Amino acid sequence: MGLLDADIYGPSVPTMMGCSDSPTSQDQKSIDPIIKYGIKTMSIGYLVDTETAMIWRGPMVSTALKQLLNDCNWGDLDYLLIDLPPGTGDIQLTLAQKIPVTGAVIITTPQDLALMDVRRAIKMFEKVNIHILGVIENMATHQCSQCGHIEKIFGSDGGEKIAQELHIKLLGQLPLDIQIREDLDHGIPTVIKNSENPDHAISKTYLNLALKIHEGLALRPRDYSIKFPKIIVQNN
């Protein structure tokens, strides 16, 4: 499993995965990914100081993304997950035009303002022929830690509405929960932290989402063209 942080301006994978190491290079031409929790990760956050502001124009961002992908020794991977920033800018277009993508997962929060951006993102992926595996609604509900009351702070069922409107799957919903925030701030993903408790509610939600994404990918056609040699036909 590989994880590529494609958010050049605001890389978050080093913090979420609890990684502070700098990548090494064996041949001085390519770099080795940082491995944490059995996951190979790469991020611009490993290569620049945390206080550095990434004041880069579009072409520099696109070049950086391609280098992070192509110059990293990923090795054999079952999956490469690319974490994109919000929007439909240079990073998304570079990904669509230069990198073969099997499918996209859309993350949204329930409120109408977020759904406006999600509609644009889905339309962009459709225009560049990237299949939408489904949508995940984040911060769907919040349960009070004192009284147990469940409240939909950011609105009701926005993910389901967008899924029905645009004919895509609703993969699931994640709660607004302080444990998720604390775990990621401490660099320990919730599923890893609760690996010995398979009945943990949030972990089960994440694992069910992963299973649905895996099922969606399994149904996609595979491109084996890179495994075939080049064939050149000449008329003599």
Q: What is the CATH number of the domain that holds 72?
A: 3.40.50.300
Residues 96 and 108 reside in one and the same domain: no
**Nearest by Cα to 135 from 119, 154, 113:** 119
Q: How confident is the model at residue 42 (pLDDT cuts 50, 70, 90)?
A: very high
- Look up the domain containing 36 and give its range: 1-100
Q: pLDDT confidence of 229, banded at 50, 70, 90?
A: low
Q: What is the pLDDT of residues 160-214, one digit of tens each?
A: 999 999 999 999 999 999 999 999 999 999 999 999 997 999 999 999 999 999 9
Domain end point (choices 100, 122, 146): 100
- Residue among 20, 1, 2 nearest 186 (CA): 20
Residues 86 and 194 grouped into a single domain:
no
Output the six-digit token pair for 227. 């495994």
Report the domain count for the chain: 2
Q: Establish if 66 belongs to a structural domain.
A: yes
Are residues 8 and 86 located together in one domain of the fold?
yes
Would you state the pLDDT for residue 205? Answer: 95
Q: Tell me if 75 sits within 8 A of 104, measured CB to CB.
A: no
Q: What is the pLDDT of residue 33?
A: 96
Tell me, yes or no, whether 93 lies in a domain: yes
Q: Which pTM was predicted? A: 0.87
